[in-house]
Amino acid sequence: MSFSQSMKKLAAGVIASSAIVYSGAVMAADTIKVGVLHSLSGTMAISESTLKDTVLMMIEEQNKKGGVMGKKLEPVVVDPASNWPLFAEKTRELITKEGVDVIFGCWTSVSRKSVLPVVEELNGLLFYPVQYEGEESSKNVFYTGAAPNQQAIPAVDYLINDLGVKRFVLAGTDYVYPRTTNKILEAYLKAKGVAADDIMINYTPFGHSDWQSIVSDIKSFGSQGKKTAVVSTINGDANVPFYKELGNQGVSAEDIPVVAFSVGEEELSGIDTGPLVGHLAAWNYFQSVYNDSNEKFIEQWHAFTGDDKRVTNDPMEATYIGFNMWVKAVEKAKSTDTDKVADAMIGIETPNLTGGMAVMNANHHLSKPVLIGEIQDDGQFAVVWETDGLVKGDAWSDYLPGSKDLISDWTAPVKCGNYNTKTKSCGGAAAE
């Protein structure tokens, strides 16, 4: 081969190589990157892996419809490994290195609070799909799980009004969500006329397994001649020995009912539900709700996972709602720009899976129904109570001194997450 032929071949190779690189760049430009920030290892993987799969299912379905604005959605999955500081690191990586336009992720409040300053600094967009303690509203976060007034407060109202409960045990795992929720509930109960002596509060560490003395205390607390119930923010696998110990000590759901905020279909799958039958949970969605939308979602989930025994749950519905709202907002804004999408999100409506419509409010929280379900022996819930209509999520509690004067409104002219209605200024202090 002559020198000139060699140069021609080399030039052709460079051109071909450049074409490949250019083609890749075009392909990248023709996709919208979606960050998926859920633990795939560590203690939270059992819950969060399901939400990762939910986002991937939604992306697959949307791409079958032609994507968004004519572009395919490209998932970027990372594993923050149940490590709270790693959530922040992975968020920064998703935004700065991967160039994602939106992130669906987090489960625990501590992981969300780790991510919050990063998405605010980098002007990212986070959809958070799990019930939480409130006392927060960020322009960069949309909260599609329940605020306390969409789960905890209605559950207590049900116990008082429907079951005649007079004494309350507030039992939780020792971290921010249970502590803040119980602070709100304690203030609410006292405002309803419940005496301080009729409120027992107890916290245990993650994974707590020795419940004998605590259940004995609960049993004693409930033997004072007043109807007693447990309001549970106990999280994760500690629930199994807790309910088992209630059964061991002969405490039935008829004697002292437990209403839980962190026990759903996923937590009940694969365990002996015998000790839990008859106890309650408060959510905005149950798999057992029958309507065409939910049946279609369950069928889609079984087809995607290839397992017709996989259950659905409330955080999955919150992910479903948030994803569909984001798609509508992008199409409305004709852009994936964070500020434009965030503005377009306000007022967006999309069907929920309980037969109604979810609405995104100016405080970045949804309006949604509240349901109380009774645990059945098959690990599903029989709905025993629900709100007449939708409940608007409240970012700031009306029952905490530092919060009751605060509102969140991300529309003009307020554009503030903690606007003090008394001082007429942005930046009112949150409750400690």
Taking only the tens place, the pLDDT of each residue in 234-287 is 987 788 899 999 999 999 999 999 999 988 998 888 778 888 899 999 999 999
Domain holding 209: CATH number? 3.40.50.2300
Is residue 31, in this structure, part of any structural domain at all? no
How does pLDDT run across 160-195, given as a tens digit for each residue? 999 999 999 999 999 899 999 999 999 999 999 999
Is residue 232, in this structure, part of any structural domain at all? yes
Is residue 236, in this structure, part of any structural domain at all? yes
Q: For residue 331, how many other CB atoms are within 10 A of its CB?
A: 13
Is residue 419, in this structure, part of any structural domain at all? no
Please indicate, yes or no, whether the overall pTM of this predicted structure exceeds 0.85: yes
Where are the extended beta strands (E) located within 205-244? Answer: 228-233
- Three-state DSSP at 31 gives strand
Contacts of 270 (CB under 8 A, 6+ apart): none
The enclosing H or E element of 184 equals: helix 176-191
Backbone phi, then psi, for 143, in 5-degree steps? -100, 105
Residue 343's Cα: distance from chain center in Å?
21
Distance CA 359, CA 345 (A): 10
Is residue 196, in this structure, part of any structural domain at all? yes
- Three-state DSSP at 321 gives helix
How does pLDDT run across 342-392, given as a tens digit for each residue? 999 999 999 999 999 999 999 999 999 999 999 999 999 999 999 999 999
Total count of residues recorded for the chain = 432
Is residue 171, in this structure, part of any structural domain at all? yes
Q: How is residue 46 written in tokens?
A: 């059992």
Is residue 79, in this structure, part of any structural domain at all? no
The residue range of the domain holding 156 is 152-260
Q: Kindly report each contact of residues 424-431 with a partner whose C-beta sits within 8 Å and lies 24 or more positions away, as own/partner.
A: 429/402, 430/135, 430/136, 430/396, 430/402, 430/403, 430/406, 431/135, 431/180, 431/183, 431/397, 431/400, 431/401, 431/402, 431/403
CB 322, CB 56: distance < 8 Å: no
Split into its structural domains, the chain has a count of 1
Is residue 351, in this structure, part of any structural domain at all? no
